[in-house]
Structure 1
Amino acid sequence: MGKLQSKQKRNLSRYRIDGDAGHSSNTQVAQQYSPVHNDAVTSLASLTSEHCLSGGKDKTVVICNWKSGDVQQKFIGHEREVTKVTCLFQSNRIFSASRDKTALMWDMYNKAGPLQEFTGHELVVTGLAVSPDGLQLCTGSRDNSVCIWDVETGVCLQSCSISRNLVTHICWVPAESLVIQTSEDKMIRIWDSRELQVAHTFPIRQHIQTHCDASPDGRYCITCSNGFSGEGCEATLWDLRQAKHKVCEYKGHLQAIAACIFVPSAAPSLPLVATSAHDCTVKIWNRDTAVCVSSICLDGAGPLTSLASSDAANLLCGSFNSGIHHLRMNQSNSCILREVARF
């Protein structure tokens, strides 16, 4: 892994897009704040209307004001790289997962130490999601297992292991007992968290599934895959209602897509999704038509790792080489993306 990361830092041109249709570049220089992490940003989540939560390869979990770039809290407790962070919007409890095989719960107002520790996985924890009521935590790992934990006690309530189910990401469907999970075995599974049983599987994909997100209304989910030179490298929209069929695919990235999310829309007639990839680009898509409505290349960022958004105008993107990027989107003007700041 170390050799691969070193190569990525030396040869950034490998990840740039040339001649990409709809691609926009910055006409103004982005504000550069002090970096909140001293290594790659691995995961992002929206905490409040002006605060984001991030995890890094530097083993830290950070709460940052994305409007000013100011660090509000920095939590130190993991022994290895933080792989995922998550929270309920406007909650004071935040969660992190790590290569140290644990997940931790923190209080955003108290950095004395974690409130709770969730231990039991045998390998790196790569999936992390909190239930809509905040009472349970779901984790997934490269040890092929998915676990449900009691947030207050740290007790593992249920665990299920499936051969070759190397978990890559987990998200909880809003207002439901359903958990969506992607895997390196190219499968997308929907779990019923009440019994921790697989309630549905989508048709097996051609490439490793890297990330997933559920729409705020619980009607859809989006997943994305890895790939190279445009092969694979797509995101897929799925209907979570009775049919559970594929709605459309978003194709245009040239390298593996690391993150895909539903973006709050200023107009109900223009539902949007966003993707970020190892080709240094962030793309905004019309959810229903799969048309790419905006694209931006973040020069020097290296592979992009994560996305988060709390409103219709602002998007946050984590990167391997240049921290967190604050992007502003003007939805009234063809959804043009502009980089505002890096921190």
Structure 2
Amino acid sequence: MGKLQSKLRRRSDLYRAREGAEPTPVHQVVQYEPAHSDAVNCVTSLNSDLCVSGGSDQAVVVYDWRVGKVCRCFHGHSKEITKLGCFAGSTWIFSASRDKSVLMWDFTGGPNPIQSFCGHELVVNGVAVSPDGSRLCTGSRDNSMCLWDVESGKCLHRNTISRNLVTHLCWVPGGTSIVQTSEDKTIRVWDSRTWQVTNTFPAKQYIQTHCDVNMNHYYLLSSSNGFGGHGCEATLWDLRQPGCKVVEYRGHVQTTACCVFLPTSIGSPALVASSSHDSSVKIWDQNTAACLFTLALDGSGPLSSLAPCDSSALLCASYNSGLHQLQVSAGAPPSVREVARF
């Protein structure tokens, strides 16, 4: 009888293993104090310890992601926050909104904005600060790009291009150029001195949703909307050869909302991260376009934004479940796991 029970138990164990029913250790995700009461639309790094996020709740929140604590919460917009920008090495924060304005905040200052930039006729979807902090660039669905004096809040230049519904923009590190993506599927490079378009990249098949430039200012990333696996890619371009497409990162099945260069680690390949409306974050080999890891954040809804904090920490904004702190582990291949939500 004992032998029969033992045999049946082994068969049962084998069956459960085949069915995937064996209990496995579950990694516990720490739940911190939530940063927002609604969807989080954007997140960026203020410094190595603090991030800034903007949400549909109209709040701009500074959060210490290492300890899970809200540090500051700014209110001043009348509609949801769309994009954020920070001036490196400072405590300045710039928030763009559907209320057509951009507000400037000081993390160490009072509760009110220290400057406002008003002049767009529709939602502002792009904001970037010059490397010296003296100029602010904004882009809107009103087809215009504006250059502002940060100190006075005065609009210095405005240029309107038909059908240029701006979706995102970034200032090339250490340079005078600004890159912007648009709903007309085109990527444009602007010269901040002449406020003219100096280069236009070939139009993609779908709307371009986001862009990022790496620190050596040689390469540009753009991401694409799409559905059912069509479109949904990120693209690596060579800024030294305008229009030169290097590789494409394909694997998401819904809109790729954000794509960023990850900080480089000695001895590791250059990496790119992307987030999608399909609730997944993917890590790619920058040069080969091989997908090295996929993290599914089930139930999070569309993933709207990514912010690298250091070589091992990546923050991800979501519509349904707040902000996700992800740990990127170097290796061959690298791996990603969620360690906290807030």
Q: TM-score, normalised by structure 2?
A: 0.91
1:309 correspondence with 2:271:
no
1:245 correspondence with 2:241:
no
Shift of 1:91: 1.4
Partner of residue 52, structure 1: 51
Letter in 2 for 1:80: K
C-alpha separation between the residues in 1 aligned to 2:246 and 2:266?
21
Deviation per residue, 1:100-151 (Å, 9 max, x gap): 1000110001232001000000001011111111111000000000000000
Q: Is the 8 A contact 2:309 2:315 kept in 1?
A: no
C-alpha separation between the residues in 2 aligned to 1:269 and 1:233?
26
1:324 correspondence with 2:323:
yes
**Cα separation, partners in 2 of 1:243 and 1:59, compared to 1, 3 Å:** closer
Partner of residue 61, structure 2: 62
Partner of residue 7, structure 2: none
Shift of 1:208: 0.3
Q: Is the 8 A contact 1:257 1:278 kept in 2?
A: yes
User: Secondary structure of 1:190's match?
Assistant: strand
Partner of residue 125, structure 2: 126
C-alpha separation between the residues in 1 aligned to 2:118 and 2:105?
15
C-alpha separation between the residues in 2 aligned to 1:66 and 1:89?
18
Partner of residue 6, structure 2: none
Shift of 1:310: 2.2
Partner of residue 94, structure 1: 93
C-alpha separation between the residues in 2 aligned to 1:70 and 1:97?
24
**Of 234-243 and 222-231, the range deviating more from structure 2:** 234-243
Partner of residue 208, structure 2: 209
Shift of 1:335: 1.2
Letter in 2 for 1:307: L
C-alpha separation between the residues in 2 aligned to 1:91 and 1:41?
24
Partner of residue 298, structure 1: 297
| Structure 1: runs of 5+ lacking an equivalent | 1-24
Q: RCO greater where, 1 or 2, for CA within 8 Å and sep 6 or more?
A: 1
Q: Is the 8 A contact 1:46 1:89 kept in 2?
A: no
Shift of 1:244: 4.6
Shift of 1:243: 5.2
Partner of residue 148, structure 1: 147
Shift of 1:268: 5.3
Letter in 2 for 1:254: V
C-alpha separation between the residues in 2 aligned to 1:120 and 1:243?
31
C-alpha separation between the residues in 1 aligned to 2:265 and 2:158?
40
Partner of residue 74, structure 2: 75
Shift of 1:240: 0.7
Deviation per residue, 1:196-220 (Å, 9 max, x gap): 1000001111000000000011010
Q: Is the 8 A contact 2:62 2:73 kept in 1?
A: yes
1:117 correspondence with 2:110:
no
C-alpha separation between the residues in 2 aligned to 1:106 and 1:339?
30
C-alpha separation between the residues in 1 aligned to 2:89 and 2:59?
21
Letter in 2 for 1:206: Q
Deviation per residue, 1:250-278 (Å, 9 max, x gap): 00000000100000021355001100000
C-alpha separation between the residues in 2 aligned to 1:272 and 1:35?
29
C-alpha separation between the residues in 2 aligned to 1:289 and 1:149?
39
C-alpha separation between the residues in 1 aligned to 2:330 and 2:101?
40
Q: Is the 8 A contact 1:238 1:247 kept in 2?
A: yes
1:335 correspondence with 2:321:
no
Question: What is the 5 A alignment of 1:219-258?
Answer: 219-242=218-241, 244-258=243-257
Letter in 1 for 2:320: N
Kindly report the root-mean-square deviation, in angstroms, between the aligned alpha carbons of the 2 structures. Answer: 1.3
**Of 234-243 and 265-274, the range deviating more from structure 2:** 265-274
Q: Is the 8 A contact 1:75 1:111 kept in 2?
A: no
C-alpha separation between the residues in 2 aligned to 1:330 and 1:180?
30
Q: TM-score, normalised by structure 1?
A: 0.91
C-alpha separation between the residues in 1 aligned to 2:54 and 2:290?
31
Partner of residue 10, structure 1: none
Deviation per residue, 1:309-341 (Å, 9 max, x gap): 021101000000000000001113521101000
Instruction: Please list every run of at least 4 consecutive aligned residues from structure 1 whose deviation after the TM superposition is greater than 3 angstroms.
Output: none
Deviation per residue, 1:147-190 (Å, 9 max, x gap): 00000000000000000000000000001100000000000000
Shift of 1:295: 1.0
Partner of residue 191, structure 1: 190
C-alpha separation between the residues in 2 aligned to 1:242 and 1:141?
27
Larger radius of gyration: 2
**Of 90-99 and 140-149, the range deviating more from structure 2:** 90-99
C-alpha separation between the residues in 1 aligned to 2:178 and 2:203?
18
| Structure 2: runs of 5+ lacking an equivalent | 1-23
C-alpha separation between the residues in 2 aligned to 1:300 and 1:174?
36
**What is the aligned length?**
319
Q: Is the 8 A contact 2:238 2:245 kept in 1?
A: yes
C-alpha separation between the residues in 2 aligned to 1:89 and 1:342?
25
